[in-house]
Structure 1
Amino acid sequence: MAGEVLTPIPAASVIVLRDAEPALSGAEGLEVLLLKRNDKSSFVPGAWVFPGGAIEADEDMRDAAVRETLEECAIALDPNTLVVTSRWITPVGIPKRFDTWFFVAKVSHETKATIDGGEIVDEMWIAPADALARRDLRLVFPTIKNLEAVAQFDSADAFIDSRRGAVIEPIQPVLVDGKPVLR
């Protein structure tokens, strides 16, 4: 129906971080896990995203974040260690809307992601600044903004500590000429 504002679907996502191991990867600082969505996905096809998805009716948002991470990349997380870092609501005017709570979790530098090749078709561990600099990666607005926040820190612990106890206000961009803008 034209002009109808769709109610956002509750969702949860996890920014999975690890401290790089220079002896293994040659990288220093922290790395973030990005997953590539299938080009046939109904929502942000082909985009590089953090693990996440819809919260089921009887599910706590932390449990949903853990479940989605396990389903999408076979990384098991403890819901009690997740720290809320942001909350994004898809702008009015987008055909499929989400109200997504973003959490952050740290894993060991040996952690590997295993994808199923269905919903998720690729994965990478990458420094946040490198992900932002790569023009070949399709990144959606909340992913960009979360990567910008993480890129300010040299370690996973430093970022996580900065978010503990933070007041989380919902962020809802508006569409201007078809692009999300913060006001």
Structure 2
Amino acid sequence: MSRNSLMSDGVTVRDAATAAVLRDGTEGLEVLLLRRHGGHVFGANAYVFPGGAVDDSDADAVLAARVSAGVDYARACLGETGRPLAFWLAAIRECFEEAGLLVGCSHLPAEIPAGERDALNAGDRSWADVAARLELRFALDDLVYFAQWTTPPGRPRRYATRFFAARAPEGQRAACDGHETVDHWWAGPAAALASHDRGEIEMMHPTRVTLERLCDYEDVESALAGLMADGTVSS
């Protein structure tokens, strides 16, 4: 699919990227869920993975030059799009913006100043500028591409979203941004599904299907290997 496609219902389908961030908890595999702000037009109050629309700036050559690994993997997965690296870089950016976590980085500073995330979210600093200031190097193959979901016709906003999975970075703490996201939960996949079944939380269908897939795995290593081996799912 091209960057943006105008569908028959007149709503532009925007490219998007999201990442299921995984960690090994005391009782098994856990995944990071963020609660979206209630004022959102799309997915208000739903518990989701960090993610959002792919920006033109995610295809910036300056960012691409900071990719240290995984270029061949990204092109093998999404070579038909003409800008495959942008989806991975958007997923990494969204994790930082919404959850405060830098996934998919082969090089990180010893300490990440909180002001960098704030400046990025406020639009005072570009993603390329933040990457340069923190001297980031991106390892795209640390993010496993496993699904694409397209919002069905009839919705006010529609997205063709690529789903990735990544290991949570050690030594970093997740924190919602207070604007796009208002709460975070490291949840066991089965526990999150049970909470949704009881009507305690809102959840969109692609999130639920992903959690059902994650129930098959006991830890991060097996989850990443299994999602990669199973190949991508499109819907």
Equivalent AA in structure 2 for residue 84 of structure 1:
Y
Gaps of 5+ in 1: 23-27, 172-183
Alignment of 1:110-121 (within 5 A): 111-121=172-182
% same residue: 36
Does structure 1 residue 10 correspond to structure 2 residue 15? Answer: yes
Contact 2:146/2:233 (<8 A) preserved: no
Q: Shift of residue 57 of structure 1?
A: 1.9
Equivalent AA in structure 1 for residue 40 of structure 2:
S
Q: Name the residue aligned to 2:222.
A: 158
The DSSP-based 3-state class of the residue aligned with 1:92 is coil
Alignment of 1:1-183 (within 5 A): 4-20=9-25, 22=26, 28-59=27-58, 60-78=86-104, 79-80=139-140, 81-107=142-168, 111-134=172-195, 135-164=199-228, 166-171=230-235
Deviating above 3 A after TM superposition, structure 1's stretches of 4 or more consecutive aligned residues are 108-111
The DSSP-based 3-state class of the residue aligned with 1:164 is helix
Bigger CA drift: 78-87 or 157-166?
A: 157-166
Bigger CA drift: 156-165 or 62-71?
A: 156-165
- In the TM superposition, what whole-angstrom CA distance separates every residue of 1:16-41 from its partner, at most 9, and x where no partner exists? 00000x3xxxxx11100000000011
Q: Name the residue aligned to 2:82.
A: none
Q: Name the residue aligned to 1:178.
A: none
Larger-gyration structure (1/2): 2
TM-score by length of 2: 0.66
TM-score by length of 1: 0.83
Q: Shift of residue 164 of structure 1?
A: 2.0
Question: How many corresponding residue pairs?
Answer: 163
Structure-2 change in CA distance of 1:115 and 1:5 (3 Å): same
Contact 2:103/2:169 (<8 A) preserved: no
Q: Shift of residue 13 of structure 1?
A: 0.1
Q: Write the distance in 2 (CA, Å) between the matches of 1:72 and 1:61.
A: 16
Q: Shift of residue 55 of structure 1?
A: 0.2
Q: Shift of residue 165 of structure 1?
A: 5.2
Q: Write the distance in 2 (CA, Å) between the matches of 1:49 and 1:107.
A: 16
Q: Write the distance in 1 (CA, Å) between the matches of 2:29 and 2:22.
A: 7
